Structure 1
């Protein structure tokens, strides 16, 4: 069991039973204006795991930010036991600019573990990894599709991790994808610190979608209930069916440039040959049909009205496991892990 000692984040001490917002300043704007990144910490007086909910590592992915905002505003982050840390916007600089990248042009999610003396993005990655992640046991990092690409709500996790597999089952998003940890990513560096992190994808950039936010918030509540951290006043909702696990998937690309007319198949199962969209020129000279190359679920759709030849326009599953069984030995592994707290 952990002892009920203070936890320290960026020099700020948070005691058991205490609520505190730690305002982090890595660098000021070029106007010398101060720009804080709030880290919101709520601790129970009862010992338990430390869970992180983060979003906005890409500043234009607003759906994830909205999910963490709702977790805070609905007081879901008030734990029955343990500690809940919320960082609604990791990349505050990108959020201010409505941009995916840091001001130095770098993708923050490709520079981890970062460097104390590197670029601005690298320095920020370093501080998050060294100041916050060493005390975290479980995490969910919320993302959206980029460049007008709408992701059906999904959890991504690395294969062959029994504990993560159970957490993914508990989160119960409509889709769950096996996805390797990418070098330089927040998830990859967190895994090396033994943090069990799920990655949630849903919606598209510069957009707030009510249904996506609901999926994310309900998943958070189910995870907290599973860890015995959810305040009993919060009710959880189950999916009507188990999450659909996808082992393999591939992109359908535009065979010509033009205006894309989407047939709204996102999140649905389509048969080979199903009409996904039509690409037209703006002058009424041609119409090109985009058909599903195989049976599968549409897990991402490009919502841009204009596409170029070769653009990724649909992400389609190739190999699916419809029903997931929770093996007793994996459940035992999870229980054993929780007994360490």
Structure 2
């Protein structure tokens, strides 16, 4: 199967430049956009996204239908320092049609999203704690807007993922909330995308977090029709 993979660069010519990849399947289908590393200290999300790109390049994974837009490491500068980022990039996206991004990188990332108009927008993150034990934390959770058509899908995927996790304390939960200024909420409000944030927990080992990130991404891409 021939897969067309195109490499581009966000914020080209600036200190924020970072690569992105466009993967087109052989037939027309939905467009899905995936971002990771918006926060530079969330390293498992970055490794999972990079490994996913590598598997596509090596022909180990295939996009059978539609288009995948993936930015495996959004915030290169924060990642180099292993910090969340200053300012927090995930507070600089437009919150309404009259708002503008407040950072060159979020501006170019959202421009790319607006260009491709993804039906799905998946933002890979990490967080503190275990949400199954503490509703105030986000570790081990999937987030979406309570009014989003993705709510049912997110609940189904969490249920499926949890079947393979023996320790109930580390099960994933569903969180229904908006976050003005985030890439996810901007994609939901302004692009009408099924927008989902994946949050693995820093309480778990790095390899396990990478595994969960890739597994959830694969499940979401299957639901979007890009993979079997």
Q: Same fold (TM over 0.5)?
A: yes
Counterpart check, 1:68 vs 2:49: yes
CA distances 1:65-102 after superposition (whole Å, capped 9, x unpaired): 1221222223266310101111111111111222211x
Matches within 5 A, 1:236-275: none
Paired residue secondary structure (1:188): helix
Partners of 2:18 and 2:42 in 1: CA distance:
16
What are the ranges of 5 or more consecutive residues in structure 2 without an aligned counterpart?
Answer: 131-138, 162-170
The verdict on how the C-alpha distance between 1:121 and 1:95 changes in structure 2, with shifts beyond 3 A counting, is: farther
What are the ranges of 5 or more consecutive residues in structure 1 without an aligned counterpart?
Answer: 1-15, 30-34, 233-341
Query: Does the CA contact (< 8 Å) of 1:60 and 1:99 recur in 2?
Result: yes
Equivalent pairs counted in the alignment come to 199
Q: 1:88 aligns to what?
A: 72
Q: Which has the higher contact order (CA 8 A, sep 6+)?
A: 2
**Structure 1 or 2: larger strand share?**
1
Q: 1:287 aligns to what?
A: none
The verdict on how the C-alpha distance between 1:228 and 1:38 changes in structure 2, with shifts beyond 3 A counting, is: same
The verdict on how the C-alpha distance between 1:121 and 1:62 changes in structure 2, with shifts beyond 3 A counting, is: farther
Counterpart check, 1:158 vs 2:142: no
Q: 2:82 aligns to what?
A: 98
CA distances 1:273-305 after superposition (whole Å, capped 9, x unpaired): xxxxxxxxxxxxxxxxxxxxxxxxxxxxxxxxx
Query: Does the CA contact (< 8 Å) of 2:124 and 2:197 recur in 1?
Result: yes
Q: Please, what TM-score do these two structures have when normalized by structure 1?
A: 0.53
Paired residue secondary structure (2:150): helix
Query: Does the CA contact (< 8 Å) of 1:150 and 1:203 recur in 2?
Result: yes
Matches within 5 A, 1:2-13: none
Paired residue secondary structure (2:215): helix
Q: 1:54 aligns with which of 26, 30, 35?
A: 35
The verdict on how the C-alpha distance between 1:77 and 1:154 changes in structure 2, with shifts beyond 3 A counting, is: farther
Q: Please, what TM-score do these two structures have when normalized by structure 2?
A: 0.77
Displacement after TM superposition at 1:208 (Å) = 6.3
Q: 2:103 aligns to what?
A: 122
